[in-house]
């Protein structure tokens, strides 16, 4: 019936679990491993910061077109499949041609692919389970993503330390194959059948209404501050570890990735249930508190291996924001038909914060040292926590705990998986 959804079958849920697992495996090869890889190849911190920022800016510019593409596409799986292929090509360029131009192209490909895959997965999840069960489904997504991240980080860290640094990116490209298989195995037979409506590109009227929404503006600001505080932490720590630990840097970075994934795997389903029962604002405050603790520990922890401790705490941050962002987007757009557009809009401040974070951390580290850079990033996090505490309203629908039914007015924008 138009306006109602019914639970998806186990086939769709399990295929989505596997997709989250293998996609997280593939995405693990980017980020801190890129920093370690390029540092080992004698790239300067300025050059590394430039290519990382280039990838972030590419993602920033691609957000709205990607959201419009996901909204307009009849099959989200097809679009996500092309994005996975681009991800594999990006990893192969890093592995086989670690020179300036190929690395820049690789970072741009990765940025475009990532900003397509994130809303596509959220749209498929919402399509499969509906709004009422979305919080728990997002927690399940985060659990399988964290397990994938942890497994891949352990394998990539060991391979990077004992085989060759490029092994990380060869494995990343290979992992895109089972991710594609899982993507195409998502069962459409049990998915809700939405009312058909005309397809469209960028809905500028809807975008204007979203931008004027006070809840979205406050949450967007908090998202920007979160990533401004958070994004540069692990790459900065990766550079410090490489200088302190030398040959074992990849192994330590792997431990820094595995530790938070264990926390995310345990914490995410609980965060999804808490968001559904106690509200979105509460899990945001928990995540911000964990971020502040992590920032301070990064600044004061000596040596290389102790950096694993604050990085483990970041698992709480990842679980809470990973559940809250698409869930709040779903709350804000319920009944409007602009879910993917809202996700794309929220991604803009996320990538602005991440891009500024890399630049800010690099500049402060170069002039005042890495401990001061960590403290500055922590101060930004404190400002973000105040924004959430003082101004962020609760977005959970009043009837969410009574099993609210998702609107399939958005159906054409979800499309088939």
pLDDT at position 82: 92
Q: How confident is the model at residue 224 (pLDDT cuts 50, 70, 90)?
A: very high
DSSP per-residue codes, 347-390: HHHHHHHHHHHHHHHHHHHHHH-HHHHHHHHHHHHHHHHHHHHH
Cβ(50)–Cβ(35) under 8 Å? no
Rounded to 5 degrees, what angle do the CA atoms 392, 321, 217 make? Answer: 35
Whole-structure pTM over 0.85, yes or no?
no
Tens digits of per-residue pLDDT, 57-95? 887 788 778 877 887 777 788 888 899 999 999 989 988
Give phi and psi for 73, each to the nearest 5.
-70, 135
Q: Report, as an integer, the average pLDDT of 175-180.
A: 90
Least confident residue range of 3-12, 224-233, 349-358, 364-373: 3-12
Q: What is the CB-side half-sphere exposure of residue 244 using CA atoms within 13 A?
A: 16
Q: Report, as an integer, the average pLDDT of 216-220.
A: 89
Question: Which pair of tokens denotes residue 335?
Answer: 């009944």
Could you identify the residue written with the tokens 């559940």?
Answer: 323
Tens digits of per-residue pLDDT, 365-389? 888 887 788 888 889 988 999 998 9
SS (H, E, C) 187-209: CCCCCCCCCCCCCCCCCHHHHHH
Q: Report, as an integer, the average pLDDT of 328-335.
A: 81
Least confident residue range of 7-16, 88-97, 317-326, 376-385: 7-16
Cβ(192)–Cβ(4) under 8 Å? yes
Confidence check: pLDDT of 405 > 60: no
pLDDT at position 247: 59
Confidence check: pLDDT of 400 > 60: no
- Domains defined along the chain, listed by start: 10-188+207-412 (1.20.1250.20)
Q: How confident is the model at residue 191 (pLDDT cuts 50, 70, 90)?
A: very low
**Comparison of pLDDT for 319 and 90, the residue scoring more:** 90
Confidence check: pLDDT of 192 > 50: no
Question: Which pair of tokens denotes residue 119?
Answer: 């809303």
pLDDT at position 92: 92
Q: How confident is the model at residue 353 (pLDDT cuts 50, 70, 90)?
A: confident
Tens digits of per-residue pLDDT, 104-114? 898 899 888 98
**Comparison of pLDDT for 391 and 47, the residue scoring more:** 391
Q: Report, as an integer, the average pLDDT of 256-275.
A: 80
pLDDT at position 161: 67
Q: Report, as an integer, the average pLDDT of 393-409.
A: 55
pLDDT at position 413: 36
pLDDT at position 225: 93
Residues 375 and 380: their CA atoms lie apart, in Å, by 9
pLDDT at position 416: 37
pLDDT at position 130: 75
Give the mean pLDDT of the chain.
Answer: 77
pLDDT at position 172: 87
Confidence check: pLDDT of 300 > 80: no
Confidence check: pLDDT of 198 > 70: no
pLDDT at position 2: 37
Question: Which letter does DSSP use for residue 194 in this model?
Answer: P
Question: Which pair of tokens denotes residue 386?
Answer: 């105040």
pLDDT at position 86: 92
Least confident residue range of 190-199, 319-328, 348-357, 385-394: 190-199
Residue 338 Cα to chain centre, angstroms = 20
């Amino acid at each position: 019936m138009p306006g109602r959804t019914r639970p998806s079958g186990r086939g769709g849920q399990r295929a989505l679990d596997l997709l989250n697992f293998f996609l997280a495996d593939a995405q693990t090869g980017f980020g801190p491993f890129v920093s370690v890889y390029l540092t080992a190849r004698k790239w300067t911190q300025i050059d590394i910061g430039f290519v990382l920022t280039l990838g972030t800016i590419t993602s920033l510019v691609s957000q709205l077109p990607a959201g419009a593409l996901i909204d307009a596409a009849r099959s989200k799986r097809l679009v996500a499949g092309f994005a996975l292929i681009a991800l594999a090509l990006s990893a192969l360029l890093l592995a086989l041609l670690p020179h300036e131009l190929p690395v820049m192209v690789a970072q741009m490909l990765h940025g475009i692919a990532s900003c397509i895959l994130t809303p596509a997965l959220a749209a498929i999840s919402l399509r499969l389970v509906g709004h009422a069960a979305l919080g728990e489904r997002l927690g399940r997504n985060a659990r399988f993503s964290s397990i994938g991240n942890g497994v891949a980080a352990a394998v990539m860290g060991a391979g990077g330390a004992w085989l060759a640094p490029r092994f990380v990116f060869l494995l990343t490209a290979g992992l895109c194959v089972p991710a594609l298989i899982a993507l195409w195995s998502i069962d459409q037979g049990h998915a809700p059948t939405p009312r058909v409506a005309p397809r469209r590109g960028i809905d500028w009227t809807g975008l204007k209404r979203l931008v004027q929404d006070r809840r979205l503006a406050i949450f967007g600001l908090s998202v920007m501050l979160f990533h401004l505080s958070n994004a540069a932490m692990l790459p900065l720590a990766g550079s410090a570890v490489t200088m302190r630990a030398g040959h074992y840097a990849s192994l330590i970075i792997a431990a820094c990735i595995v530790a938070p994934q264990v926390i995310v795997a345990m914490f995410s389903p609980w965060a999804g249930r808490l968001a559904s029962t106690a509200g979105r604002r509460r899990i945001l405050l928990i995540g911000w508190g964990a971020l502040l603790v992590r920032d301070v520990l990064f600044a004061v922890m000596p040596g290389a291996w102790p950096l694993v401790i604050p990085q483990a705490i970041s698992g709480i941050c990842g679980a809470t924001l990973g559940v809250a962002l698409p869930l709040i987007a779903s709350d804000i757009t319920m009944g409007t038909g602009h879910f993917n557009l809202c996700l794309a809009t929220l991604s803009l401040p996320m990538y602005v914060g991440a891009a500024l974070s890399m630049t800010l951390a690099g500049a402060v580290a170069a002039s005042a040292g890495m401990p001061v850079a960590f403290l500055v990033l922590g101060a930004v996090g404190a400002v973000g926590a105040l924004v959430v505490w003082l101004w962020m309203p609760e977005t959970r629908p009043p009837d969410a705990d009574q099993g609210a039914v998702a609107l399939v007015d958005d159906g054409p924008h979800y499309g088939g998986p």
